[in-house]
């Protein structure tokens, strides 16, 4: 009983109120009726029976006691925890971190890189379940850690990441997404979550990322770090980054493309905040797969509600009132009161706001809070603002209703969001017209211009796919006939190549063959010598044998001193690892070209 407490202690206030009202009613019954002071004494016993007050006291005591026990039961007395199974979720996630030079921008304190490190560390340590991988990219993408179930150890690797350790400068987000897809598939996750921390992308990357979303089933959740105003890029040595024209580079955060990409993949988008609301919002989505395994039962955070034990006592107290018909009225009052305050009924009614709620927060504030909590349906139901309703419906995936809401706004932002909703519905022609209307009201808007270009490109791709689908049936007949002819020609050509090869092998001898024969003769002679020495009983000891030779101890000491000189700095180890991988890719001609260093 040391852990005895009430789950819902606010019901005790109602019990206290019942006691006060019962005491007042008792005092009223104890006193004479008000007419007793007016009616004469010889008529009082006829008009006002003397046992009336006594007949009302005992039902009052019973009802007050039953209501008090009911409030105590609703308060949820408990002293025992419920056992819960520990469930290991078999979900896959990959965190992608942008390591281009633009993360040195100082528009967020202390800079974008530090904010990315903080957010990524909190994300892998507290917010994600299952297996987690880590990828960093600049001009090329590298695996910092494959998928592991121990996400807390990724914090040291995240703190070691910076643009300085990247082999090549630039920004190639598509390579990072492809690498994340490879890590998830290698770990057996056909569907997974990708958490992408970046400070922006170029318009040329949008089409490729859209293709990536179309051919994969992963959900991309984007955390944008930076501001729309931007700030200079301050390098670690204190210099400000300049372009080829000797102008100071000021990278600006454009969120339109990132938000669109995240929504299209089924993920979420958030801009970095000083608290944890941003990563809470990104990581609050349910996992794509529910596969997992349950381990042994353990005491959890849920408590066993013992209030049900009061029900028999309450029913015994109310049993004497059943014959007088008082019990029926009492039960009806309790049922109406409990039903009206039931959370499930309130959720089913979905009334906008009661006067008690409006007393503390306006409907706009309530809807804004619902948006932050991810309850988009509630926000759309209670918001009086079309912009807020459109945002809630857009994030909930109700693009048709979002289009209706945004259509009520005759502004650049309203037409811009109309275009975003039309893009989600793959009505690219109408979306391009909406972006044109937004640009007329707000010229030189980069986000609207980029989305307009994207809509035109997707429109062309859609038309090409339709044309290819129409021509596909016509080409099949021609391809079959051409394949038969090419097969016959290939058989004759292969027969001619086989004849030519046989003639060449029969008539060719090269100096390399003679050198190979000499090496084989030397190997045979050395093998014969070893066999002869083994027959004579000769034995050789290995260099690192425990033979008591003092030189072995000296060698071990030298080896230990050499190991002690090896640096265990994660940043340096990651630098060497990525440099080696970059060299291997360079040999295979897989190194990407660098168009922009930030």
Query: Which tens digit of pLDDT belongs to each residue from 108-150?
Result: 988 999 999 999 999 998 888 888 999 999 999 999 999 988 7
CA-to-CA distance for 399 and 404, rounded, in angstroms? 9
All CATH 1.25.40.10 domain ranges of the chain, comma separated, are: 359-462
* Per-residue model confidence (pLDDT) at position 479: 57
CB under 8 Å to 102, separation ≥6 — which residues? 112, 171, 199, 200, 233, 249, 251, 598
**Integer CA distances (angstroms), 271 to 61, 85, 254, 508, 518, in order:** 60, 36, 11, 70, 71
| pLDDT tens-place string over residues 449-467 | 888 888 888 888 878 877 7
CB under 8 Å to 526, separation ≥6 — which residues? none
* Per-residue model confidence (pLDDT) at position 383: 85
> Residue range 271-276: average pLDDT?
91
346: pLDDT strictly greater than 50: no
CA-to-CA distance for 233 and 104, rounded, in angstroms? 5
Instruction: Kindly report which listed range (82-86, 101-105, 397-401, 489-493) carries the lowest average pLDDT score.
Output: 489-493
> Residue range 190-197: average pLDDT?
94
* Per-residue model confidence (pLDDT) at position 568: 52
Q: Which of 233, 217, 309, 219 is nearest to 262 (CA)?
A: 219
* Per-residue model confidence (pLDDT) at position 363: 77
> Residue range 73-83: average pLDDT?
82
Percent of the chain with pLDDT over 70: 65
Task: Give residue 358's region: left, alpha or beta (phi > 0; psi -120 to 50).
Answer: alpha
488: pLDDT strictly greater than 60: no
Q: Higher pLDDT residue, 260 or 43? A: 260
For 570, phi and psi rounded to 5 degrees? Answer: -60, -35
221: pLDDT strictly greater than 80: yes
**Integer CA distances (angstroms), 597 to 36, 107, 258, 427, in order:** 99, 19, 20, 35
Work out the mean pLDDT of the chain and round it to a whole number: 75
Predicted confidence band of residue 287 (pLDDT cuts 50, 70, 90) = confident
Predicted confidence band of residue 566 (pLDDT cuts 50, 70, 90) = very low
497: pLDDT strictly greater than 50: no
Percent of the chain with pLDDT over 90: 23
> Residue range 340-356: average pLDDT?
42
| pLDDT tens-place string over residues 301-330 | 567 888 888 888 888 887 777 655 555 555
57: pLDDT strictly greater than 70: no
* Per-residue model confidence (pLDDT) at position 120: 94
* Per-residue model confidence (pLDDT) at position 548: 39
| pLDDT tens-place string over residues 366-382 | 888 888 888 888 888 88
Q: For residue 536, what are its two tokens?
A: 């004579």
* Per-residue model confidence (pLDDT) at position 328: 56
3-class DSSP string for 292-316: EEEEEEEEEEEECCCHHHHHHHHHH
**Integer CA distances (angstroms), 129 to 88, 270, 506, in order:** 8, 20, 65
* Per-residue model confidence (pLDDT) at position 178: 95
* Per-residue model confidence (pLDDT) at position 144: 94
CA-to-CA distance for 371 and 389, rounded, in angstroms? 10
> Residue range 165-183: average pLDDT?
93
Q: For residue 163, what are its two tokens?
A: 């643009």
Task: Give residue 382's region: left, alpha or beta (phi > 0; psi -120 to 50).
Answer: alpha
Superfamily of domain 92-283: von Willebrand factor, type A domain (3.40.50.410)
522: pLDDT strictly greater than 60: no
Predicted confidence band of residue 592 (pLDDT cuts 50, 70, 90) = low
All CATH 3.40.50.410 domain ranges of the chain, comma separated, are: 92-283
Query: CA dihedral defined by 320, 326, 332, 334, rounded to 10 degrees?
Result: -60
Question: Does the global pTM surpass 0.85?
Answer: no
* CATH architecture type of domain 359-462: Alpha Horseshoe (1.25)
> Residue range 528-546: average pLDDT?
38
Q: Higher pLDDT residue, 317 or 489? A: 317
593: pLDDT strictly greater than 60: no
């Amino acid at each position: 009983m040391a852990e005895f407490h009430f789950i819902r202690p606010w019901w005790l206030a109602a019990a206290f109120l019942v006691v006060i009202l019962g005491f007042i009613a008792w005092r009223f019954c104890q006193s004479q009726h008000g007419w007793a002071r007016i009616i004469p004494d010889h008529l009082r016993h006829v008009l006002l029976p003397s046992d009336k007050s006594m007949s009302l006291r005992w039902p009052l005591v019973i009802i007050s006691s039953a209501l008090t026990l009911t409030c105590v039961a609703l308060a949820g007395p408990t002293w025992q925890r419920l056992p819960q199974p520990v469930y290991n979720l078999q979900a896959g996630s990959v965190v992608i971190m942008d390591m281009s030079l633009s993360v040195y921008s100082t528009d967020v304190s202390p800079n974008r890189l530090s904010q990315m490190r903080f957010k990524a560390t909190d994300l892998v340590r507290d917010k994600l379940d299952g297996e987690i991988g880590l990828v960093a990219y600049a001009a090329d993408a590298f695996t910092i850690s494959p998928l592991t179930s121990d996400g807390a150890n990724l914090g040291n690797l995240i703190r070691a990441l910076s643009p300085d350790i990247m082999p090549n400068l630039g920004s190639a987000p598509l390579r990072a997404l492809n690498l994340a897809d490879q890590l998830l598939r290698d770990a057996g996750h056909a569907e997974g979550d990708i958490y992408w921390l970046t400070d922006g992308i170029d318009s040329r990357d949008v089409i490729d990322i859209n293709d990536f979303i179309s051919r994969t089933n992963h959900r991309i959740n984007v955390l944008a770090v930076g501001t729309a105003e931007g700030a200079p890029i301050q390098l670690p040595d204190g210099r400000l980054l300049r372009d080829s024209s000797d102008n100071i580079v000021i990278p600006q955060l454009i969120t339109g493309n990132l938000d669109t990409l995240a929504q299209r993949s089924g993920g979420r988008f958030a801009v970095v905040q000083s608290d944890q609301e941003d990563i809470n919002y990104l990581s609050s989505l349910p996992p794509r797969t529910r596969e997992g395994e349950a381990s042994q039962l353990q005491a959890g955070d849920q408590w066993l509600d013992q209030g049900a034990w009061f029900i028999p006592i309450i029913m015994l107290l109310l049993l004497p009132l059943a014959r007088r018909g008082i019990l029926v009225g009492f039960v009806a009052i309790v049922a109406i009161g409990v039903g009206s305050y039931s959370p499930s009924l309130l959720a089913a009614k979905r009334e906008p706001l009661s006067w008690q709620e409006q007393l503390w927060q306006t409907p706009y504030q309530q809807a804004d809070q619902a948006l932050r909590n991810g309850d988009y349906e509630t926000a759309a139901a209670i918001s009086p603002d079309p912009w807020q309703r459109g945002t809630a419906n857009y994030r909930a995936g109700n693009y048709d209703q979002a289009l209706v809401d945004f259509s009520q706004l005759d502004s650049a932002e309203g037409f811009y969001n109309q275009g975003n909703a039309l893009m989600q519905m793959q009505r690219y022609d109408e979306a391009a017209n909406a972006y044109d209307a937004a640009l007329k009201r707000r010229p030189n808007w980069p986000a609207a211009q980029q989305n307009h270009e994207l809509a035109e490109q997707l429109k062309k791709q859609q038309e090409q796919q339709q044309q290819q689908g129409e021509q596909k049936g016509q080409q099949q007949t021609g391809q079959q006939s051409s394949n038969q002819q090419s097969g016959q020609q290939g058989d004759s050509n292969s027969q001619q190549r086989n004849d030519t090869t046989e003639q060449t092998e029969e008539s060719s001898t090269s100096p390399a063959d003679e050198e190979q024969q000499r090496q084989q003769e030397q190997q045979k002679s050395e093998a014969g010598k070893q066999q002869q020495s083994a027959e004579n009983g000769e034995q050789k000891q290995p260099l690192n044998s425990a033979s008591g030779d003092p030189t072995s101890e000296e060698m071990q000491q030298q080896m230990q001193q050499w190991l002690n000189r090896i640096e265990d700095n994660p940043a340096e180890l990651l630098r060497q690892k990525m440099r080696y991988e970059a060299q291997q890719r360079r040999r295979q001609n897989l190194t990407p070209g660098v168009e922009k260093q930030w």
